[in-house]
């Protein structure tokens, strides 16, 4: 169900059976697939994609170039910088889908910097910060800042 108070740009593509909360904005060249769930007051910038099995909380910002795949769950007040990358398959092969995608959870208030890569099946804790360009290969505890490749705790 798309809330009537949601703002969908005429060049955005939203499936009829996606769920989009009130005052959420979906900008041009963004795609929301069938079965996706997006909360209220979100901002999906241009060139974003939300796949059918993805869940996005309230007041989430997806900057340009962010794709949220099946199995990815973003809590409330999450920020994803430009081209932050989520993955959902540890051993991807063409035309060979896993029986189930790994679940990646980004808890409330976390921020993911531009160009960061989040490997599948991880948890990023509440209010954690992932630096730009970081490659996250393991769980990040709440409130910590992680940077680098592979990402490690700052300080």
Question: What dotted CATH number matches 1-155?
Answer: 2.160.10.10
| Total-model pTM | 0.95
For the chain, the domains span 1-155
Cα-flanking dihedrals φ and ψ of residue 74, to 5°? -110, 125
In tens digits, the chain (155 residues) has pLDDT values of 899 999 999 999 999 999 999 999 999 999 999 999 999 999 999 999 999 999 999 999 999 999 999 999 999 999 999 999 999 988 888 988 888 889 999 999 999 999 999 999 999 999 999 999 999 999 999 999 999 999 999 97
Q: Taking a C-beta distance cutoff of 8 angstroms, is the pair 118, 102 a contact?
A: no
pLDDT for residue 149: 97
């Amino acid at each position: 169900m798309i809330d009537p108070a949601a703002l969908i740009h005429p060049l955005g593509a939203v499936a009829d059976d996606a769920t989009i909360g009130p005052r959420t904005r979906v900008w041009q060249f963004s795609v929301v697939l069938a079965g996706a769930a997006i909360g209220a007051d979100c901002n999906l910038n241009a060139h974003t994609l939300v796949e059918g099995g993805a869940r996005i909380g309230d007041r989430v910002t997806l900057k340009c170039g962010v794709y949220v795949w099946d199995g990815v769950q973003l809590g409330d007040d999450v920020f994803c910088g430009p081209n932050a990358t989520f993955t959902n398959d540890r051993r991807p092969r063409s035309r060979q889908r896993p029986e189930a995608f790994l679940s990646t959870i980004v808890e409330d208030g976390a921020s993911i910097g531009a160009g960061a890569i989040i490997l599948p099946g991880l948890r990023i804790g509440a209010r954690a910060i992932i630096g730009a360009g970081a490659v996250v290969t393991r769980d990040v505890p709440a409130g910590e800042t992680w940077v680098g490749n592979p990402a490690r705790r700052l300080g």
